[in-house]
Chain A
Amino acid sequence: MHDPGEVKITIGPQHPALKEPESFLLSLHGEKITASSVRLGYNHRGIEKACEDRTYVQDLYLVERVCGICSHSHSTCFVQAVEEIAGIEIPARASYLRTLISELERIHSHLLWLGVAGHEIGFDTLLMYTWRDREAVMDVLAAITGNRVNYGMNTIGGVRRDITPQHKEMVLKAIDILEERTKYYIELGLGESTLLKRLSGVGKLTNEDVVRLGAVGPTARASGWGRDVRKDDPYAAYAHLDFKVITNDQCDVYGRTLVRLGELMEAYSMVRQILQKMPDGPIAVKAPRKIPAGEAVSRYEAPRGEDFHYVRSNGTDKPDRVKVRAPTLANVQAVSKMLEGGYLADMSIVVAAIDPCFSCTDRLISVCDEDTQKKNTVSWESIRLKGIDWYKNQGIDFTYLNKKLARKF
């Protein structure tokens, strides 16, 4: 029953391949992965609960900090839901500005991903080059919004800052540079054979599995599933823009790379269209502090996939319930599937290929007893023992270590 050649290895919660705490338990046979499981929940921050005792204005900045890379995504998604409840129609210019920041953010996120992917397969030169080029778009974002990472651009009823002609010029200049660089990366991606060797055929996810496991974003699009909220359910100014949904049917990490590179090129053309078509007018409307009772769901195509926010209000200035479903949560189930049958060496790039953002993902679930409707409190000691047991069942024995630790303290 127990395979003697099998080795259990835990990747994470602390591991150089993972930028955030997350645990993967892999069963190895030689270098091959025979089984894998993902454990979430190392980075729960209680953001949803915290939203409930802050006002809507304060929540804007809290929700923005769900994710460091797609901060504008979460904040826009939240603010769209709030505006829907309050029945606020934002000015056209504001929606164009939101779209502009959102596309600039996509550019910076995808370039960041490309660098991380390069690093995961030991191609550090690619990391250094893409992150150097990414500075161009970061500088543009800092100039327009006033911050490099958490832009603070949205407010209920519009946006907080307008762009000036100088900004426009700056954006166009940066886009020109980046477009040229991205063309180079596409050429590199198509031509560099060591890159191809490491990326193609790795982390296979079939079209059916995408549907079954509910993958979203570039992960789904690289398996030929052309799902994109920007096209399917246009928000902000996307209905007025002309763009293609990039898909690929390679179904592997290479396909995901090409999809992201293609999306970069689309993003450049979209930014140009936005700057051209942007109407004049006010950038925000006055919003009430108290949002009438109601509920709304909002969807948004973040760089990593579909972001989903649910907001319920109760007529006060604080929301009654906020629910965030970050794109990584939808994709993380697929990772297990992609890892199986692959090599240990490909583990890090397969995980990186969904562009994971684990701290965005972690939410608390309280489990009630079905009969008594009771919630239990579990002591720290029993959690520890349960952990030891859990690992023992997985084939890793901590009993000896535990005894020794108990003696020490």
Chain B
Amino acid sequence: MRKPGKIAGQLIQSIFKKPATLNYPAERSGMPEGFRGKLKFNPEKCIGCKMCMRDCPTGAIEIVKVGEKKFEAKIDLGKCIYCGQCVDSCMKEALGITSEFELAKLNPDDLKITFNAENTSDSQK
């Protein structure tokens, strides 16, 4: 049957339904498990093969040798496209992903983070 205003029923229903909008900063849906967010680095496991540097599509990651068998990772989150290829490339599972995605900063320099032996979680320069 062709008639105008076929959507009316849904409109009336919608007005009594809870809005589908997520009131973002106040409510968060949370990201699913395995979401590709900010990288994490475990210096204990890194052997300095630099496979991650070779495979990174944007050159966002840099592994620097800081001592005997000691490496630190410099990651530029502004360049990172969160594809997780470095995690796949890493043979020793030194790199991993977290589901943290709210990474915006006012200063671009704050996006450059360094993971070193002293502070494995997140030391910001």
Tell me whether A192 and B83 are in contact (CB under 8 A): no
Closest to B59 in A: A58
B108 within 8 A of A: no
B91 within 8 A of A: no
Chain B window 74-95, contacts with chain A (Cβ cutoff 8 Å), 1 for yes, 0 for no: 0000000111110011000000
Tell me whether A192 and B57 are in contact (CB under 8 A): no
A345 within 8 A of B: no
User: Please, how many angstroms separate the alpha-carbon atoms of A135 and B3 in the complex?
Assistant: 29
Residue tally, chain A, CB below 8 Å to B: 33
Tell me whether B11 and A146 are in contact (CB under 8 A): no
Query: For the complex, would chain B's binding face be called helix, strand, loop or mixed by DSSP majority?
Result: loop
Tell me whether A62 and B57 are in contact (CB under 8 A): yes
Q: Which of A130-154 contact B (CB under 8 A)?
A: 132, 135, 139, 142-143, 146-147, 150, 152
User: Please, how many angstroms separate the alpha-carbon atoms of A54 and B58 in the complex?
Assistant: 10
The contact of A188 among B6, B20, B36, by CB within 8 Å, is B6
Question: Smallest distance from the beta carbon of A101 to chain B beta carbons, Å?
Answer: 14
The contact of B84 among A57, A139, A146, A188, by CB within 8 Å, is A146
Query: For the complex, would chain A's binding face be called helix, strand, loop or mixed by DSSP majority?
Result: helix
Q: Which of A200-254 contact B (CB under 8 A)?
A: none
Chain B residues with CB below 8 A from A366, complex form: none
Residue tally, chain B, CB below 8 Å to A: 28
Tell me whether B57 and A193 are in contact (CB under 8 A): no
Tally the A-B contacts, defined by beta carbons under 8 Å: 72
Question: Smallest distance from the beta carbon of B17 to chain A beta carbons, Å?
Answer: 11
A191 within 8 A of B: yes
20 A-B pairs (CB sep. < 8 Å): A57-B55, A58-B56, A58-B57, A59-B57, A61-B81, A61-B83, A61-B85, A125-B7, A132-B20, A139-B32, A142-B32, A146-B36, A150-B81, A187-B6, A188-B7, A190-B2, A192-B3, A192-B6, A193-B3, A194-B4
Q: Which residues of A contact B (CB under 8 A)?
A: 54-55, 57-62, 65, 125-126, 129, 132, 135, 139, 142-143, 146-147, 150, 152, 155, 160-161, 184, 187-188, 190-194, 196
Q: Which residues of B contact A (CB under 8 A)?
A: 1-7, 10-11, 20, 31-36, 54-57, 81-85, 88-89, 97
